[in-house]
Amino acid sequence: MQSAWDAQGHSAEVLKHLMLGIIGVCTLIWLLVVLMLFAALVKRRGQAPLQGEHAERKTRLVVYLSVAVTTIIVAGLTLASFFATRDLVVGRDMDLTVRIKGQQWWWQVTYEGSSFGPRFQTANELHIPVGRNVRLELESIDVIHSFWVPSLAGKQDMIPGRMNVLTLRAERPGVYRGQCAEFCGLQHSHMALMVVAQDDDQYRRWAQAQALDAAVPDDTEVQAGRAVFMRKPCAACHTVRGTEAQGSSGPDLTHVGGRRTIAAGLLETTRGSLAAWTADPQTLKPGTNMPIVPLTSEELQQVSAYMETLK
C-alpha cells in the first residue's frame, strides 16, 4: 500500500500522529462552531437582542475568551508541528548511507560502504535493514524530482546541484512503494521506487550479493544474449559489472533480473516483460531515454534470457 496513513516507519508515524492531532482539533472546533450557530439560531428566534451594561460585559468576556482559546490552540498546533518536524531531522546515529539520484524517469541508487556491506550501485529498488537509521543523500541530474515513500517518511525534493538529506527508518519488514512527487516531465507518473525493508541478516546477504559482479553464463543461449548485449548499443548506456558494459546513462543492470520491477515500477520483472521492454520501450513508456534498438527476434530472445539470469 502507498499511503501516509499506513505508517510503517518512524518519520511516517510521527507525521501521522501530527496529522491526526490537527484533524482532530480542527474537527472539534468545527463541530463546536456549528453547534453554537444552531443554538444561537434556535434561542434568538423572535427575541430582541439583549441590551444594557450587563449584556455588554458578557459580550466582552466572550470575545476575550475566544481570543485566548484561539491563541492557545494555534500556539499548541504550532508547537506540535515544531516538535514533530524537529523529530524528523535531529541528528541520530546513522547506520547506512545511500545516495539516490533522481533522473528522467528512474532512480540511481548507490550504497556507501558500511558495517552492513560494501559499496555498490543499483537502481529503482532500495533495500534497507529494519529498525536502522538510513541516511539518504538525495540529488538530481536533470530536473526537480521528489523522493516520497509515504509509508516510511515525508517528501523530500531532489534538486539539481544540491544535496538534500532524508532519514528513513522502517519499523517493520515489508515492501513499500514510493513515487516521484514532483512533476518532472512526461513519464513522471512512471517513476516509482520499491523499498524493501528486511532484517539485518537478510539485508546483509542481499548487499553482499549485489556487490558481486554479474555471473558468467554457462548456458549457450544466455552466452549468445550476452554477446548481443555487448555488440549492440546497450553496453554504451548500461553497466553490467564484470563485463565491458560500462555505460552510465541508464540503470545498472548487473542484477536487474533480481529486481521486482523494471523501468521504475512500470512492469514486473519477467523474461516476457524484459523482452517487451527491450523490443519497444517507447511504446511502453513514451519519451523515455532508452531508444528502440533494432534486434532480430532471435537476438531479442537471447538478450532477454541473458537479463533474466542477471540475479
- Verify binding: residue 100, ligand HEC, rule CB under 6 A: no
* Strands 174-179 and 267-268, bridge-based pairing: unpaired
Residue pair 122/109 in contact by the 8 Å Cβ criterion: yes
151 to 190, contacts with ligand HEC by CB under 6 A? 187
Tell me which amino acid residue 233 is. Answer: P
Q: What is the largest CA-CA distance in the chain?
A: 101
217 to 256, contacts with ligand HEC by CB under 6 A? 229, 232-234, 236-238, 249-251, 253, 256
Identity of the residue, 114 or 223, whose beta carbon is nearer to ligand HEC in the bound complex: 223
* Smallest distance from ligand HEC to CB 159, Å: 20
Give the bridge partners for 194, in sequence order: 125, 177
Backbone angles phi, psi at 110, to 5 degrees: -120, 120
What cell does 35 get?
A: 453547534
What cell does 198 get?
A: 528486511
Identity of the residue, 196 or 234, whose beta carbon is nearer to ligand HEC in the bound complex: 234
Among Cu ion, ligand HEC, none, the one that 180 touches (CB under a kind-dependent 5 to 8 A) is Cu ion
- Verify binding: residue 305, Cu ion, rule CB under 5 A: no
Listed residue (272, 296, 306, 287) closest to 106, CA to CA: 287
Draw the binding track, 110-149, toward ligand HEC (x: CB under 6 A; -: no contact): -------------xx-------------------------
Among Cu ion, ligand HEC, none, the one that 245 touches (CB under a kind-dependent 5 to 8 A) is none
The 10 Å Cβ neighbour count of residue 194 is 19
Output the CA torsion 248→156→8→128 (10° steps): 30
* Smallest distance from Cu ion to CB 42, Å: 54
- Verify binding: residue 109, ligand HEC, rule CB under 6 A: no
Residues interacting with ligand HEC, by CB under 6 A? 105-106, 123-124, 187, 229, 232-234, 236-238, 249-251, 253, 256, 259, 262-264, 274, 277-278, 285, 288-291, 293, 303, 307
